[in-house]
Chains A and B, each alone.
Chain A
Amino acid sequence: MKTALLRAGRGIRWYVKQLTGEAKWDEYLDRCRRQGAEPMSRRDFERHRAEHQENNPQARCC
């Protein structure tokens, strides 16, 4: 029971993190580590993402 709840909790956390895009940072760090590259700071990374959002607006429907 307890493990099932824990698993569900972890699943929801994973989902929300993915959905909001917060997980992009972790993925980026992973990628840098694998390629042996020096990652940029989180602040710069998030600015990069905001910049992209700025120029690619997505319509919200009715």
Chain B
Amino acid sequence: MSTDTSPRQAASRMAPRSMLVWGLVAAVGAACWAVLALSRGEEVSALWILFAALSSYAIAYRFYSRFIAYKVLGVDNTRATPAERLQNGADFDVTDRRVLFGHHFAAIAGAGPLVGPVLAAQMGYLPGTIWIIVGVIFAGAVQDMMVLFFSMRRDGKSLGQMIREEIGTVGGVAALIAVFSIMIILLAVLALVVVNALALSPWGVFSIGLTIPIALFMGFYLRYLRPGRIMEVTAIGVALLLLAIVGGGYVEQMGLTDALTLSPNTLVLALVLYGFVASILPVWMLLAPRDYLSTFMKVGVIVLLAIGLVIARPVLQSQAVTDFALNGNGPVFSGKLFPFVFITIACGALSGFHALIASGTTPKMVAKESQVRMIGYGGMLMESFVAISALIAASVIDQGLYFAINSPAGATGGNPVAAAEFIRTLGFTINPADLTAAAQAVQENTLISRTGGAPTLAFGISLIFTKAFGGGLAAFWYHFAIMFEALFILTAVDAGTRVGRFMLQDTLGNVWPRYADISWKPASWSASAAVVGAWGYMLYVGVNDPLGGINQLFPLFGIANQLLAAIALALCVTLLLKHGKARYVWVPGIALAWDLIVTMTASWQKVFSGDPKIGFFQQRSVFSAAFDQGKVLPPAKSIDQMQQVITNSTVNGVLSAVFALLTLTVVASAIPIWIKALKSGGLSTTEIPHQPSHLVAPSDFFATTEEKQAVREYEATQRELAGSGGRR
């Protein structure tokens, strides 16, 4: 692999002025970290976290990602990318780097980086902050960029394909099963977040429900009225969406309150039906327009939140590190700081799911190899920034209220008096009247035990926006934030179900070829039903879990996501060794080692822990012993609920064990290859050989003067060629 030398020379020629600038950035970062590390018991502004994050990202991007791109991976701009070689205007398509950055970011960022940090805030703001920032720099962004690079060098092969070809069939099959089952858990947990946000919230149900006709209208508009006018229809859609949020405030006047106050189980049924129908409808009707809406909402809210934070300058209400971090008795989820902070915050620090996106459409659209740095590493830094904003939003809420919102109903009793008493036992204070007032301020029936992270985040965002932009619009902002989260969770559910269906059809197609035909209705419908059924069942389990679905399922989702990351990082280690780059193997190696330590400890505890709050099988045996004697253990309230706890803990325990075993299978099957590659100094891989690139495009977000000049010259020759009827 030859290396483009010019950027390296540029690095060694670092000008005095840029040394000064980077020195300043480093000083700002160090100061922010010092304040965060040393402040105890005084008022700490949230901006310290924000600026600690931004300066750390800047330094990591400038130095570490550059090192990885040019030294470790050896990006080579003289090599034609698959987009250049195989350009077909459809999947292989040379795309402007900034546009591709947008595409990639829209695909990786969703509700994950918003929910995880909110839940992890029960341990204080410091553990989450450190993990989000350090984790993204040394693990998450490294994984995303490396997988993107390796897939790009293999014409955009998927993670599963690469593992099968580079590690072996056993690893490949284990990876395939892992990816599929992790996707099911992911969809179930995301859907659970929506159910918890919308249950008993007529305003929320009204606004989110209206997104379906709005998206359908947009779909028909684009199909029949004015094909292709996406910007126009998106503007109309966003306006309608805002009207839907405002309109939700009038459900009472419209007399719809009773009709729209839905129980969690009704919502489960509605979501399952919706997921099935949405995944078999043509994409133009619902999925594509919904995707436009959710992308715009996503970008809009992130920008607004960053501006809002700077204007409002909120003070952190949470402690730096709470007692729950050390004793593991937190009500939001059980377990100590290690390993559970690193599990709860997956997206935003390290997310295995991104490896699927980075080996999907993105590698087929990269114009120049050096751009994997800004797209892979840069895209993940941006996602991490979203996670930091979410963590801040959760940490500026009064802590009594935070725990009242996030403790399971079994603990709070669901009413203000009992909840206030429970909060007191945790060591915080809040009046029952304050709990009622907080709910009224955002026009919700109640905020008690609205677990899942979305209501907490929405409340935090509404606090920040109200302080920043004024106007007493707390209830509007709250539902605006709920809409924003629910919208892209529903998009993820649509898209995920469809991807799962394709995977299932493809896999079963190996046995029965006709089943792989995606246009054959019996196959596509039955595969859709199977996927929806699988996540629908897990969703049902979560919604009806007396111990609290989020409490039980979120750690499972986090572990699954991080295990997928271990699989992806194991592939990166394998490929570096095969390419004879053993001296750089520590780059994905430290990320892999840390991730394995965290996930294996967490899986071990989830399976074998003797504490029934953590270990699923211990939970099962405690509850089933009581069940056999006909006793009802709290928080279960009936013998039926006892039965439910027993079933759920068995399902969850088995899943934890299976996920961990699948990952270990992949890693174990990679180790012999590592040894072989180390002994022989490298092995052959499926990398596509070097073919010269003719295309000229800048590498980074901002083009340098030389790059601009080179692009101008290139474009001039292209025009000449075009004028003489040459190739495009």
Binding site for B on A (CB under 8 A): 15-22, 24-25, 28, 31, 34, 42-43, 45-47, 50, 52-62
Q: Kindly state whether residue B231 has any CB partner on chain A within 8 Å.
A: yes
CB distance from B297 to the nearest CB of A (A): 13
A61 engages B227 (CB within 8 Å): no
A62 with B111, Cβ < 8 A, contacts A53-B288, A54-B283 known: yes
Cα A21 to Cα B230 with chains together (Å) = 8
Give the B interface residue count (CB, 8 A): 54
Expressed in whole angstroms, the minimum distance between the Cβ of B97 and any Cβ of chain A is: 11
A62 to B350, CA, bound (A): 12
A sample of 9 cross-chain residue pairs with beta-carbon separation below 8 angstroms, ordered by A number, consists of: A17-B231, A20-B234, A42-B227, A50-B282, A50-B288, A58-B495, A59-B353, A61-B107, A61-B108
Residues on the B chain within 8 Å of A60, using CB: 107, 110, 291, 488, 491-492, 495-496
Residues of chain B within 8 A (CB-CB) of A34 are: 722, 728
Give chain B residues whose Cβ lies under 8 Å from the Cβ of A31.
728
With A34-B728, A61-B357, A62-B346 already in contact, the answer to whether A15 and B107 are too (CB < 8 A) is: no
**Cα–Cα, bound, A7→B222 (Å):** 29
Interface flag for B228 (CB, 8 Å): yes
A61 to B114, CA, bound (A): 12
The one of A46, A57, A62 that contacts B283, using a Cβ cutoff of 8 Å: A57
Shortest Cβ distance from residue A42 to the other chain B in the assembled complex, whole angstroms: 5
A22 and B231 in contact, given A61-B107, A62-B347 (Cβ under 8 angstroms): yes
Interface string of B94-115 (1 = CB under 8 A from A): 0010110011000111111100
Besides A56-B91, A62-B353, 18 new A-B residue pairs in contact (Cβ under 8 A), listed by A number: A15-B98, A15-B99, A19-B103, A22-B229, A42-B227, A46-B223, A47-B227, A50-B223, A53-B283, A54-B283, A57-B495, A58-B495, A59-B495, A61-B107, A61-B354, A61-B492, A62-B111, A62-B112
Instruction: Answer yes or no: B70 CB below 8 A from chain A CBs.
Output: no
Q: For residue A21, which residues in chain B have a CB less than 8 angstroms away from its CB?
A: 230
Which residues on B sit within 8 Å (CB–CB) of A15?
A: 98-99, 102
Given known contacts A57-B499, A57-B502, A62-B186, is B230 in contact with A22 (CB within 8 Å)? yes
Q: Are A56 and B361 in contact (CB under 8 A)?
A: yes
- Complex Cα spacing A21 to B102, Å: 12
Q: Mark B407-450, 1 if CB is under 8 A from A, else 0.
A: 00000000000000000000000000000000000000000000
Contact between B283 and A50, CB atoms less than 8 A apart: yes
When the two chains form the complex, which single residue of B222, B227, B282 contacts A54, counting CB atoms closer than 8 Å?
B282
Which residues of chain B from 638 to 693 have a CB within 8 Å of any chain A CB? none
B136 to chain A, nearest CB (A): 14
Please give, as numbers and ranges, the residues of chain B lying within 8 Å of A47 by CB-CB distance.
223, 227
Instruction: Give the distance in Å from the alpha carbon of A61 to the alpha carbon of B183 in the complex.
Output: 9
Chain A residues contacting B108 (CB-CB under 8 Å) are: 61
CA A45 – CA B354 in complex, angstroms?
31
Residues of A within 8 A of B103 (CB): 19
Q: Are A46 and B356 in contact (CB under 8 A)?
A: no
CA distance A34 to B107 in the complex (A): 33
A54-B282, A56-B361, A62-B347 known; A20 and B230 CB under 8 Å?
yes
User: With a CB–CB cut-off of 8 A, which chain B residues contact A61?
Assistant: 107-110, 112, 347, 351, 353-354, 356-357, 492
B99: chain A residues at CB < 8 Å are: 15, 18-19
A24–B231 CA distance with the chains assembled, in angstroms: 13
User: Using Cβ atoms and an 8 Å threshold, which residues of chain B touch A59?
Assistant: 107, 183, 353, 356-357, 360, 495-496, 499
Select from chain B the residue with minimum beta-carbon distance to A59: B499
Closest Cβ of chain A: how far from B229's Cβ, in Å? 7
Task: Write out the residue numbers on chain A whose beta carbons fall within 8 Å of the beta carbon of B176.
Answer: none
* Binary interface encoding of chain B residues 317-361 relative to chain A, with 1 for a CB under 8 A from any of its CBs, else 0: 000000000000000000000000000001100010110110011
